[in-house]
Amino acid sequence: MHDIRAIRENPAAFDAALSRRGLSGLSSQVLALDEARRAKILAAETAQAAQNAASKEVGAAKARGDDAEFERLRALVAETKAEMAQLNEAAKADDAALRDLLMSLPNLPAADVPDGADESGNVEIRRWGTPRAFDFTPLEHYQLPAVQSGMDFETAAKLSGSRFVVLSGAVARLQRALAQFMLDTHITDHGLTETWTPVLVKPEMMQGTGQLPKFGEDSYETTNGWWLVPTAEVTLTNIVHGETVAEASLPRRYVAHTQCFRSEAGSAGRDTAGMLRQHQFEKVEMVSITRPEDSAAEHERMTRCAEAILEKLGLPYRTVVLCTGDIGFGATKTHDIEVWLPGQNTYREISSVSNCGAFQARRMNARMKPADGGKPDFVHTLNGSGLAVGRCLIAVLENGQQADGSVELPEALHAYLGGKTRITADGTLA
């Protein structure tokens, strides 16, 4: 959410920043609501003062036996009281409308975010690894003989519908190994705190991180009003919801492995083959809570944490900074990490690492108490996949495929698989 005081002080700068996202002239709408709200509040305060003065005079008129003045003043008090109630209700309605408007507006892009209308405007900032040269035509993950018996879309469709999968045997064990490897790396090498959180949350938690109210159709709501999390970003970030934390406790760096749920409402017809885009999937999610002055450096640090997972697995990737037309609703700057998928002969997103600045913190009312005793300020929040487990599974399978239909597995995973190094063409670990 945005700071109304900053909009009042520099509406032109606010409009200029939002115009980079394709939105124009919104400060006038915001300020009109704000001015109407403030005018009603002032009128209510004026009416309150008049009521207080008249109430004092009522007693004086009664004491001196001036019945006519007494009745006039008593009627004035009643009239002013009714007027004040109406003004307060109107101000409350304006306040709600202003909050709804501010909650619907995306974060302002950082100054160094490139301009662009869509993903074609994203800018590559680095690559790692060289895509393997195959002496045969590489297959997509779901076509590999090694996974045919362990990746069952038909049974999943019978159980739940489209965009679900049942994993079994070697493939299921490989996915579990990947999640464990990611957690261990982030905890041991990167100093993140392992966290286990619920996957059902209250609506105000979804509001805090920006999934609600605007993107409700992208997630699943239960019949009792809880929401299934689209990512552990929701729970990890909201740990500081409504709190004022000590500056000395920052940064807080969390990591969690959870099931995630997305309706994929805006992706009809996209990536329907295989398990690239599912309604239910696993992610290892990183979240950092920092001092405002530290968030830019923390963004780079978190990006490197995600990249390190791919490097340990020997998976080629590229990292891009998203342009203004592709950046997410709550982010001020985002790095996407894209892993090489030989079956598609292209790079595909496997992690988004975003700095949200104070945008989420203002929605959550999450603040930091400075060590020097100064005025509390909003913390900065960051989140990123470290990594999407299913997509990493796809990348491991496709990059490790062999001409005989088997899959060679990364050395970093061998210890998590009981010393096994490959999945044979018939789907067993060997």
263 is in an annotated binding site: yes
383 is in an annotated binding site: yes
Are β-strands 333-341 and 346-355 bridged in parallel, bridged antiparallel, or unpaired?
A: antiparallel
334 is in an annotated binding site: no
Residue 30 has pLDDT above 70, yes or no: yes
Are β-strands 151-152 and 380-388 bridged in parallel, bridged antiparallel, or unpaired?
A: unpaired
348 is in an annotated binding site: no
Strands laid side by side in the 220-221 sheet? 200-201, 227-228, 220-221
295 is in an annotated binding site: no
Extended beta strands in 181-251, E state: 193-194, 200-201, 220-221, 227-228, 244-246
Q: What is the mean pLDDT of the chain?
A: 94
Residues 54-98: pLDDT tens digits?
777 766 766 677 667 766 777 777 788 888 889 889 999 999 999
Considering the domain boundaries, does residue 295 fall inside one? yes
- Domain end: 104, 127, 150, which one? 104
CB 219 within 8 A of CB 280: no
- Report which of 124, 171, 153, 130 is spatially closest to residue 389, judged by C-alpha positions: 171
Copy the structure tokens of residue 237.
């970030």
Angle at 429 between CA 427 and CA 430, to 5 degrees: 120
Pair (52, 147) in one structural domain: no
233 is in an annotated binding site: yes
> Region 20-44: what's the mean pLDDT?
94
Pair (20, 60) in one structural domain: yes
Handedness of CA 307, 311, 314, 319 (dihedral sign): positive
Pair (81, 136) in one structural domain: no
Pair (166, 83) in one structural domain: no
Extended beta strands in 69-159, E state: 123-128, 151-152
Strands laid side by side in the 380-388 sheet? 123-128, 317-321, 333-341, 346-355, 380-388, 280-290, 252-261, 193-194
Copy the structure tokens of residue 256.
């969690």
232 is in an annotated binding site: yes
At 406 the pLDDT is: 98
Considering the domain boundaries, does residue 429 fall inside one? no
Pair (71, 150) in one structural domain: no
CA distance 291 to 289: 7
- Report which of 244, 328, 360, 292 is spatially closest to residue 1, judged by C-alpha positions: 360
Give residues with Cβ within 8 angstroms of 25, minimum separation 6: 15
> According to the 3-state scheme, what is the secondary structure of 24-89?
CCHHHHHHHHHHHHHHHHHHHHHHHHHHHHHHHHHHHHHHCCCHHHHHHHHHHHHHHHHHHHHHHH
Considering the domain boundaries, does residue 113 fall inside one? no
CA distance 183 to 192: 9
At 78 the pLDDT is: 76
9 is in an annotated binding site: no
Residues 114-158: pLDDT tens digits?
999 999 999 999 999 999 999 999 999 999 999 999 999 999 999
Give me the phi and psi of 127, to 5 degrees please: -130, 155
**Residues of the chain above pLDDT 90, percent:** 87
- Domain end: 76, 104, 132, which one? 104
- Domain end: 41, 75, 104, which one? 104
Pair (293, 353) in one structural domain: yes
Give residues with Cβ within 8 angstroms of 415, minimum separation 6: none
Q: Say how far residue 209 (Cα) sits from the centre of its chain.
A: 5
252 is in an annotated binding site: no
231 is in an annotated binding site: yes
- Report which of 389, 379, 412 is spatially closest to residue 189, judged by C-alpha positions: 412
Considering the domain boundaries, does residue 53 fall inside one? yes
The answer to whether the predicted template modeling score (pTM) of the entire model surpasses 0.85 is yes
User: What total number of domains does the chain contain?
Assistant: 2
Residues 404-417: pLDDT tens digits?
999 999 999 999 99
Pair (304, 329) in one structural domain: yes
293 is in an annotated binding site: no
> Region 32-50: what's the mean pLDDT?
90
